[in-house]
A and B are shown apart, each in its own frame.
Chain A
Amino acid sequence: MDRWDLSNKIERFVPGEDLLTLQPGRIVELEGPPGFGLTRLGYRMLADPSRQAHVVALDVRGWMSPLAAWEAGVDHDRLVVVRCGDPRLWAQVAAALCEGVRAVFAEVPAGVKDADIRKLAALARARSVRMALRPLKGGLATGVSYLRLRSVEIAWRGPEAGHGRLAGRRLVLEASGKGMAGMTRLIEVEEEGEDAVRVVPGLVVGEAGRAAG
């Protein structure tokens, strides 16, 4: 097998940009601690749907900044930030949004019942809502998400002992779930400053895993 054959094989496994595109009715879970680049990834996922209709960022902590969302490509006029930190109210608010908004990126507060999240996922599927959920503590229950992206590592480029500034980053994610045909793979996402996030092709490391989701 020559080099081109090998690259073609890899390319078929690499989901590429599709991984960072929200699909109607399919939940994407973004799992990882703050600082690992998942909020910006969620914004990036809202960018495409925002060209057609309003999109919502459901903000639990009141910290979400639209500046980063705009940099990630979300339409200025179509981003609405809904703040709800009460876990008892959160599911109701998220469900209300699912009734009419085409794409939602939602932080999930600790304390929301699994049953509520399952109901929300069923509603999102029924209403063909594009949805990314970012649990602030732990992960979502099995079977809720179509694709789970768990942050593994982040590396920044730019500053060097006081010189320079943040210029770009590489984010290593573990992708699993139905969206990865039940297998677990590592992918690298690269971001250059204000440019849109992109998946670095050919850097996927295949890893056997149990079917999940």
Chain B
Amino acid sequence: MWFPDWSLGRPDAPQGESVLVVDQRVVAATSDLFEAGVRRGMPRREAEGLAPGSLVLVRDPGEEARRFEAVVLAIEEIVPRVEVAEPGLAFVPVKGAVSYYGDEDSLVETVAGKLDGTVRLGLADGPFAASWAARMAGPGGHLIVADTRGFLAGLDVSVLMGEGGGVESLIDTFRWLGVTTLGALADLPRQAIVSRFGDLGIGMHRLANGEDRKVHPRPIPPELAVEARFEEPLEIMDQVAFAARSLAARLMVGLHREGVSPHRVTVEVEAADGTVRSRVWRSSDPFTEQALADRVWWQLRAWVESDMAGGGVVRLRIDPTDISGDGRQLDLFDDATARMEAERALARAQALVGPDAVLQAAVQGGRMPSERVAWRRWGDEEGVLERDPSAPWPGATPSPAPALVPPEPRVIEVEWDGGIPTRVRLGSRWEPVLTWGGPWRLHGRWWRDEGASDRYQLVTSAGAFLCVYREGRTYLAGVYD
């Protein structure tokens, strides 16, 4: 069930005016703004530029969750076990309900009859296909998908956007390979996808086949659920917010220790009057600590502000009901969220300084420190190395490597006395050479008219330097900083 304009239903949104609800990006907009070119997900500034006279409201997901709670309760009267993905978007397993109501059409009509006319209903195998069925249903309509794989086959690969970190570049790669629809992707052999694109690729291939994320049937130890009891019932919103955040943090710490992360959690509260309420929140990406804390807080706020926690909250419990090894493994090897955030930050840095200034490197063979680094732009595939790092490279400059290496050797003034370095000019002053290592002869490539040179490690009281003496001049090749 998807309410595309749920954010617009807030009480302070004036009727009959152009309204834009934004986060950092556009969350919702009135129809006239869509006609002006505004799109969901568009950057806020761009949208404001297209609709300069519109009223801009900053999204308040807590308030949206409070209003959405009434919708969820209405759905639960028809079908139990509603799972909320975000305010305005909820999923519900319908297998049992279809049997009860006779067929899918009757069920959908019953649900639609209970809800606001703006709801779009999609019925398909799995949340991914169902959410796209709802999107395709049109305003106030519904779409029942009989052949999920066939339905998905016609969708563009861009619908995979947001289904995992790093998927944007994967979509670009699919396009570059000529795979433009989910159908084309689904037709590729899974083994080929695994070997070429790894876990992320296999996840996208599963979605394209209408299989959704594979739920790992790993047991959930009961001690992973977290619970807090409060002697004084929590009625003040600040107290509730603090409790939500601290309990969410406790849950994530326990999950990190186990190397897992939740895709679905059940939030349960007990009110002072004995009422027990619970709600399931789900996410296609593993919940981060912040995302989980937000959802627990929205849910509690919805219950408390709607007087559904009579007398205040006396017990709060968060139960992970679907965990996987994806994502949050901060203390182990890699972290999908961290990788995604880092990629965004580096892309932003690239935009500021240019692609040639954001670099990664690989070690390669060579005799000078500058030769041993193979630079590439960040994001580019590691290419073929110019020099084999596994070759012996006799005469290579010994370690440790200088921490600073000029892109090209620079002339440095060194005073010599009978082949022995005595002084180095550093800026405006001369530093006496305390001791030195070398010379190590470096034979140039005679076929390129390169002469021989000698390398020295010069030690002064101001640091140590790697220098190259060639044809009567000394060059700085590195600083042991």
Contact = CB atoms under 8 A, between A and B. Distances in A.
A35 B370 CA distance: 18
Interface in B300-357: 330-331, 333-335, 338-339, 341-346, 348-349, 352-353, 357
Nearest to B353: A84
B372 interface: yes
A69 B459 CA distance: 21
B400 A193 contact: yes
A18 B206 CA distance: 45
Interface stretch (A139-147, A154-162, A198-206): A154-162
B406 interface: yes
A100 B337 CA distance: 10
A163 B438 CA distance: 7
Given A43-B403, A89-B353, A166 B345 contact: no
Interface string A71-84: 10000110111111
A202 B346 CA distance: 41
B339 A53 contact: yes
B201 interface: no
Contacts of A67: 363, 369, 372-373, 401-402, 405
A39 B353 contact: no
A53 B457 CA distance: 35
Given A63-B406, A83-B353, A52 B334 contact: yes
Given A66-B373, A71-B401, A162 B358 contact: no
B400 A65 contact: no
Contact of B479 (A35, A84, A161): A35
Contacts of A43: 403
Nearest to B419: A162
Contacts of A34: 404, 463, 479, 481
A68 B359 contact: no
A97 B464 contact: no
A63 B400 contact: no
A71 B370 CA distance: 15
A109 interface: no
Contacts of A62: 406-407
Interface string A182-194: 0000000001011
B459 A89 contact: no
A130 interface: no
Nearest to A97: B345
Contacts of B480: 35, 37, 40, 156, 166, 169
Contacts of B472: none
A65 B437 contact: no
Contacts of A181: none
Interface string A131-155: 0000000000000000000000010
A61 interface: yes
A33 interface: yes
B465 interface: yes
A80 B360 contact: yes
Contacts of B426: 35
A23 to B, nearest CB: 15
Given A39-B404, A83-B353, A52 B330 contact: yes
B352 A159 contact: no
B390 interface: no
A145 B358 CA distance: 26
Contacts of B194: none
Nearest to A67: B401
Taking each of B333, B341, B404, B465, which has the highest tally of chain A beta carbons within 10 Å of its own beta carbon? B404
Interface string B419-446: 0100000100000000111110000000
A100 B406 CA distance: 29
A11 interface: no
A126 B401 CA distance: 35
B411 interface: no
Given A65-B373, A93-B349, A166 B400 contact: yes
B342 A38 contact: no
Given A34-B481, A54-B342, A99-B348, 13 more contacts: A34-B479, A52-B330, A52-B338, A63-B405, A63-B407, A68-B401, A82-B346, A93-B349, A97-B345, A100-B346, A159-B436, A162-B439, A194-B399
Q: In the A-B complex, list the 7 residue pairs whose CB atoms are closest, starting with the nearest.
A: A35-B463, A100-B345, A159-B437, A100-B341, A67-B401, A39-B403, A53-B338
5 contacts: A35-B460, A39-B404, A40-B480, A156-B464, A159-B436
